[in-house]
A and B are shown apart, each in its own frame.
Chain A
C-alpha cells in the first residue's frame, strides 16, 4: 500500500503557494505532519483526501491517480477534518449511522462497528445524547469514530488531539499505534508531544514546503550536541534570550534554568542534553516562536 504525491502544489494567489512542489511516498505506519499554523498542512491534507483540486501535480494511491479513481479511493479513506463540523441536532449514534449510510456500509457491519467504536472511544454512555450536549473533547472523539467507521486503509487526521485532555490524548496515541500496523496514518499537529513516541516518521512543513521526511530517531540525531541546559542568575535573562534560541526556561531556587539551542555554545556553565522533538520544532520555527513570545510579553 502506497500513497504518493508527485510535484503537488496549490496556489491560492499567484504570488505565493500554499503547498509547493511536494513529493512524498507514504506507506503503512504513522506519518506526522509537523508545522506551524499556516504552513500548509491542512491544504496538503485536503488534497490528499481529494476534496481540494491541486493547482499542479497529482496524488496516487497504489499507483492510481486518486482523482481519476475517486470512488474507489474514497472506500479506503478515513478523514477527520480540522475543526470538524457536526449535525448538532443528531445524537451520537444517529450521526454515526448517517456517516455509515454515506459510506455505503452494510447495516449489520455498521451496527457492529459503531458499537465497537463507541466502546473503544469511551462514548457508550453518551451515545444517545445530542451532539450539541457534548464537550469539545467528546466531539473530537465522535469525529475520530466517524473517520474509522469504514476501517480505512488510509487515515488522515487533521489536528486530532485538539480539545482532548491528557488522558484522551494517551488513549488516542494507543489507538493510532494499533491501527498503524496495516494503515497509512497521516497525522497533522503542532503539538509535538503527541507524535514523539508513536510516529514512524516526521514530515516537517514550513511555508508550503516539506523540509524533510525522516524517522524520529534520525530527526533527533541531527540535533544532537546542539541542545543545552544553562543555569543562570535572574539578571542574565535578557542576554541569554538575545544570544540563543530559548526552548524553555524554568525558575529554580538557584536562579533560572534555560533549555537552549545553539550551534556555537560558548558559555562553559552549559550542559549538553538529549534533544527532543520540541527542540527540533523550535530549531525550524524559531521566528514564529519569537513572535508568539513577544506578543505574550
Chain B
C-alpha cells in the first residue's frame, strides 16, 4: 500500500504545475502560522483557566444556573408575550414608560401583563404617542409595548472594573438584537421587535437567550491581521481544491485510468492510496496550521490560543462566547472535530468531482467554483467569516431555502443545541455518499 501512496505522491510531484502549487500551499500555510503566532489579537482571544473561573463565578453569582433555567423553560408554553416574563435579569424602564405613557403607566403595564389591556383603557387614559407625521394620537392597542432595562448591566460594570483592559458586552446582542441595533451600541431590547425568527425556534432561542444573557465575552476588535488570515486561508483552500481536482481527472484525461482498471492491486487499494494522499493535502496540511500555531503559543505563553481553530468555522463574535460555556479541553476537541468535518467534506467533494469529470480543466473549474463561491459571498454580502466556505455554506443555503433554519443555527456557539449535530450528521452522510459514489464508479471497471 505504501508503494501505491508513494507513486500517487510522485504523480503529483512530477508535474511542474502541481509541484509549484504544492510549494505555494506550504508557503501559504507557513505564512499563516507565522501570522497566527505573531499577531497581537491573541491578547483578546486568549482565555486562561483562571480568567474563566472568575467569569464563571460571576455568572453563578449573577443568577440561576443554566440547568435550573432550562427546567423552568421546559414547563412553560412559549409565545411572544410569555418570552418577556422569563428573563429575571430585566426590569421595567420606568422613566421611559412614564414619559411615554403618562401617569397611568403602572396600570397599563399590569393590564398588559395580565392580558386585560383594551383599546378603551388607552382611550380613557388618553395615552398619546407621536406617529411619523409628528402628530399626537391615541396609542393603538397593537402598538403598545413595554420597555425594559437589563439589570445585568450592573454585572457588566462589575466585570469592567475587574477586567479594565477588556471590553465587556452582554451577549444579547448576538442573539436577539437585530444587527443594526447592536451596531448602534444599544443595550435595550424590545422583544417584540426581535421577530426575525420563525416561531418554531422561539423555545430554542429563548433558552439560549437565558443562557447567553448571563455570559460575557470580550468584544472582538477589528484587527489589521485578521483580514490577512482570512485571505491566506482562502488561498490555502483554493490551492487544495486545485490539487485535489487533479487526482482522478488527470488519469481520465491522460487515458491512464486503464492501468488502474486492469491492475491486480485493484481499485480498492488504488482508491485508498488516492484518498490518503487527498486527505493529507486537504485535511492534514490545513489542520497543521492551527495545531502548530497553538503549540507555539503554548510554548510561548503557557496556554492554548483556541481562536486559531475557529476562524474557519463560524462567526467570530459567536465563537468568543464558547470559552465561557466549555472548558479548554472540551473546546479543543470540538474545534478539532469541527475543522476535521469541514476539511474532510471539502476533500471528499473535490475527489468525487475529480472522479466523475474526465476533463482536468472542467474538474479544475468545478472544484474552483467550490471555493470561489464563499469568496463571492464574502465580498458581496459583506460577510466577514468563513463559515460560508463552500460545503457548509451550500448546505446552509439549502437549509435556509427550505425554511429550516436561520444563520444563528450554524454559529459555533450553538454547538450545545442538538440541531447542530444534525448538521454534522448531514455532513457525515455527505462524506459517505461521496465515498459511495467513488466506489460505485470504480466498481464498474469502466473507463
Q: Which residues of A contact B (CB under 8 A)?
A: 46, 49-53, 70-71, 74-75, 77, 79, 81, 83-90, 94, 98-99, 101-104, 146, 150
Contact A103 B258, beta carbon cutoff 8 Å? no
Q: Which residues of B contact A (CB under 8 A)?
A: 3-4, 7, 10-11, 14-15, 254-266, 270, 444-447
A198→B177 CA distance, assembly (Å): 87
A102→B266 CA distance, assembly (Å): 8
Contact B266 A51, beta carbon cutoff 8 Å? no
A49→B11 CA distance, assembly (Å): 25
Set of chain B residues within 8 Å of A94, measured between Cβ atoms: 10
Given contacts A89-B14, A94-B10, contact A99 B447 (CB under 8 A): no
Q: Which partner residue on chain B sits nearest A70 by CB separation? A: B445
A62→B445 CA distance, assembly (Å): 21
| Nearest-Cβ distance from residue B419 to partner chain A, whole angstroms | 43
Contact B264 A102, beta carbon cutoff 8 Å? yes
A133→B65 CA distance, assembly (Å): 74
Contact B256 A79, beta carbon cutoff 8 Å? no
Q: Which of the residues B4, B11, B258 comes within 8 Å of A51, measured between beta carbons? A: B258
Given contacts A51-B446, A53-B445, contact A86 B254 (CB under 8 A): yes
| Nearest-Cβ distance from residue A11 to partner chain B, whole angstroms | 15
Given contacts A51-B258, A79-B258, A86-B254, contact A71 B266 (CB under 8 A): yes
Q: Which of the residues A74, A88, A89 comes within 8 Å of B262, measured between beta carbons? A: A74
| Nearest-Cβ distance from residue A258 to partner chain B, whole angstroms | 42
Given contacts A81-B255, A88-B254, A102-B270, contact A53 B446 (CB under 8 A): yes
Contact B258 A52, beta carbon cutoff 8 Å? no
Contact A101 B265, beta carbon cutoff 8 Å? yes
Set of chain A residues within 8 Å of B254, measured between Cβ atoms: 85-88
Set of chain A residues within 8 Å of B445, measured between Cβ atoms: 50-53, 70
Contact A85 B258, beta carbon cutoff 8 Å? yes
A89→B7 CA distance, assembly (Å): 12
Contact B263 A74, beta carbon cutoff 8 Å? yes
| Nearest-Cβ distance from residue A108 to partner chain B, whole angstroms | 14
| Nearest-Cβ distance from residue B134 to partner chain A, whole angstroms | 77
Set of chain B residues within 8 Å of A103, measured between Cβ atoms: 263-265
A294→B422 CA distance, assembly (Å): 68
A94→B13 CA distance, assembly (Å): 13
Q: Which partner residue on chain A sits nearest B253 by CB separation? A: A85
Contact A79 B266, beta carbon cutoff 8 Å? no
Set of chain B residues within 8 Å of A146, measured between Cβ atoms: 259
Q: Which partner residue on chain B sits nearest A80 by CB separation? A: B258
A103→B3 CA distance, assembly (Å): 12
A53→B441 CA distance, assembly (Å): 13
A90→B444 CA distance, assembly (Å): 28
Q: Which of the residues B11, B259, B266 comes within 8 Å of A99, measured between beta carbons? A: B259
| Nearest-Cβ distance from residue B178 to partner chain A, whole angstroms | 57
Q: Which of the residues B11, B265, B444 comes within 8 Å of A102, measured between beta carbons? A: B265
| Nearest-Cβ distance from residue B248 to partner chain A, whole angstroms | 14
A83→B11 CA distance, assembly (Å): 20
Set of chain B residues within 8 Å of A102, measured between Cβ atoms: 4, 259-260, 263-265, 270
Q: Which partner residue on chain A sits nearest B251 by CB separation? A: A85
Q: Which partner residue on chain A sits nearest B270 by CB separation? A: A102
Q: Which of the residues A84, A98, A104 comes within 8 Å of B255, measured between beta carbons? A: A84
Given contacts A51-B445, A51-B447, A98-B7, contact A74 B255 (CB under 8 A): no
A90→B447 CA distance, assembly (Å): 22
Q: Which of the residues B3, B4, B11, B264 comes within 8 Å of A74, measured between beta carbons? A: B264
A51→B11 CA distance, assembly (Å): 23
Contact B14 A75, beta carbon cutoff 8 Å? no
Most buried by B among A50, A52, A89: A89
A51→B259 CA distance, assembly (Å): 10
